[in-house]
Every structure is written in C-alpha cells, then in structure tokens.
Structure 1
C-alpha cells in the first residue's frame, strides 16, 4: 500500500495553481457586494459613488504591469532557462495569487455595481453602467495576467523531466 503522496501536486513543498472555484467565490462575493452597494447607499440617504475613468485606467495599468512581469518571468525561466532567486520566485508568486484573488473581487464588484444600475432612469445611470463594465473587464484582465504570472513561476522538477 502506498502511503506517500498520490501525485506531483500533492507532495510537500508543492503549491497548487489558484483554483477556478476560489476565483469564482471571490468574484461572487464582489458581485453581491457591488450589487448591494447602490441599494444600501440610497437607503441610508447618501449618493451612490460615481465611477470615473480613473478607476478602470488604474486597473488596466495594474494588468499591464502584471502582464509585463509575467512575460519577463516566463522569458527568464522558460526561454533562457535561468532560475529565479528564491525570494524573487516567492515574491512573484505571492503577487500573482493576491492579484488574482483581488482582481476577481474587484471585477465582480464593478460588474455587480453595473448590474444594479441597469434599468434605473437617473441621469448618470448609463455612465455608471458603462464605466463599471469597463472597470469589471479590467479587473478580469488583472485575473488573467495574474494567472499568467503564476504559470510563469512554475519550473519543472527532476521527476517531470524524466
């Protein structure tokens, strides 16, 4: 009977890629939070937040930085076959995981906020929907580029090469 780890992903010292279930859970939490935001603010007598172009542009900038980091990491590890310093690899992996989770939360939040404005006949509703949708897409781009960075950090083990 084999009491050892069942596969290469289950051995001690190995990290699994960020799961789709985890990302979906964070996105759903963001979606519900974004959808509830307008209702709660209006019920409390406040004015719902306005989404300016600065928010989606900032998210696009983060996605671009992550994408560039992913490309440079992939090129270093997989093209030039150089190893990253251990602290560099850990830092990039932590950055990738954190950005993937927060990107999913932000994407869900902005998409939920956009949905909460659909069918509302106020003056700025269409503007809020459009800008929130763009910000939601930018949040999704953060998730994508963060997953690319996480993938770029993967190296082959001696067992996988044979």
Structure 2
C-alpha cells in the first residue's frame, strides 16, 4: 500500500460546513410541500390538519437543546481549549447537520402551510396561520442553533489543534 503525504491525511479527516444552498434547497422543498398540504388534504380527507401548540413548542425545545449544546461545546473547545473526543465531535456534527436540514425542511413546511391559509374564510384559518407561523419561527431557530453547534465544533488547523 503506497504511503500518502501528511497533507492528504488532514484532508481526508475534515468536513465542510453545511452549505447555505443546501439549506435553501431543503427549505424550498418544505415550502412547496407545506403549501400543497392544504389543498391536497382537503381533496383527500375533506379537512386540513390543525396545528396545535405542541408542534411549535417541540421545535423551540429542540432549538434550546441545540443552543445549550453549542454553548457548552464552544466553551470546551474554544475557551478552555479542551480536546473533544472524536466520537463526541462526530456525534455533535451529525446532530447539527441533521437538525439544520430538518429544521429548514420543517420550518419552511410550516411557513408554506401558513401562507396557504392567507385569505381563506375557513373557521380555523387564522388559528392555523398563527400557529404555523410560530412553528416556522421554531424551525428557523432550530436551523440557527444547529449551525452554531456546527461552528462550535470547528477546530483550528495546525499542530496545536484544540
């Protein structure tokens, strides 16, 4: 087996940050899906889903957990200069990436669902708009805190990596 130069080893073990274009693509899919959920569900079931307060609260809970984890990771890696165990770093990076993508998809889905109810004279239209908009904000908070966690896991390149 031929030996590789040291520079190749460093390149093989690195990850790139989540691209904003990827997040935008997931958000676009969510927006379209949320928009079409309203007419399709009324066509199929004769009624559209009602958004309860549990959905937005769950998204804000996920965002809060990610925020606390990001803060703790940032303090460990960048302030105290502690070395994060490799499996913990990978777990946090996977969690951050998955939550960023899911938050973009779900948050934009709720936004699309809210937009589909604007101008509707349905009895629960206003309630669906408000709760879906709050859930969309929860999705945005999830994306932001996930990206902060991803950023907290970054280490400097060089011999004295944290």
Instruction: Work out the CA distance in 2 between the residues paired with 1:108 and 1:70.
Output: 23
Instruction: Extract structure 1 runs of 4+ deviating beyond 6 A.
Output: none
How much has 1:12 moved relative to structure 2? 2.5
Instruction: Work out the CA distance in 2 between the residues paired with 1:114 and 1:83.
Output: 44
Map 1:80-91 to 2 at 5 A.
80-91=80-91
Instruction: Work out the CA distance in 2 between the residues paired with 1:45 and 1:96.
Output: 36
Instruction: Work out the CA distance in 2 between the residues paired with 1:157 and 1:47.
Output: 55
Q: Give the structure 2 partner of residue 76 of structure 1.
A: 76
SS at match of 1:44: helix
**Number of equivalent positions:** 154
Structure 1 unaligned residues grouped into runs of 5+: 1-9
SS at match of 2:12: coil
How much has 1:44 moved relative to structure 2? 1.5
Q: Give the structure 1 partner of residue 3 of structure 2.
A: none
Map 1:33-48 to 2 at 5 A.
33-48=33-48
Q: Give the structure 1 partner of residue 156 of structure 2.
A: 156
Q: Give the structure 2 partner of residue 55 of structure 1.
A: 55
SS at match of 1:156: coil
Using the size of structure 2 for normalisation, the TM-score is: 0.91
Q: Give the structure 1 partner of residue 131 of structure 2.
A: 131
Q: Deviations over 1:61-114 (max 9, x none)?
A: 000000000000000000000011111000000000000000000011000000
Using the size of structure 1 for normalisation, the TM-score is: 0.91
Structure 2 unaligned residues grouped into runs of 5+: 1-9
Q: Deviations over 1:37-60 (max 9, x none)?
A: 011011114311100111101110
Q: Give the structure 2 partner of residue 64 of structure 1.
A: 64
Residue 142 (structure 1) aligned with residue 142 (structure 2): yes
